[in-house]
Amino acid sequence: MLVLTRKLKEAIQIGDDIEVVVLAIDGEQVKLGIRAPKHIDVHRKEIYLAIQQENNAASLASMTSLQQLSHQLKKGGEENER
Q: pTM (2 decimals)?
A: 0.66
Listed in sequence order, the residues at least 6 apart from 51 whose beta carbon sits closer than 8 Å to its beta carbon are 43
Q: What is the model's pLDDT at position 45?
A: 96
Q: Give phi and psi for 20, each to the nearest 5.
A: -115, 125
pLDDT digits over 2-22, tens only?
999 999 999 999 999 999 999
Q: Which domain holds residue 75?
A: 43-82
Residues 56 and 22 in one domain: no
pLDDT of residue 62: 72
In a domain, 18, yes or no: yes
Q: Kindly indicate the confidence band of residue 66, based on its pLDDT and cuts at 50, 70 and 90.
A: confident
22 within a domain of the structure (yes/no): yes
Contact present, 52 and 63 (Cβ < 8 Å)? no
Is residue 49 domain-shared with residue 62, that is, in the same domain? Answer: yes
Please tell me whether residues 26 and 57 are part of one structural domain: no
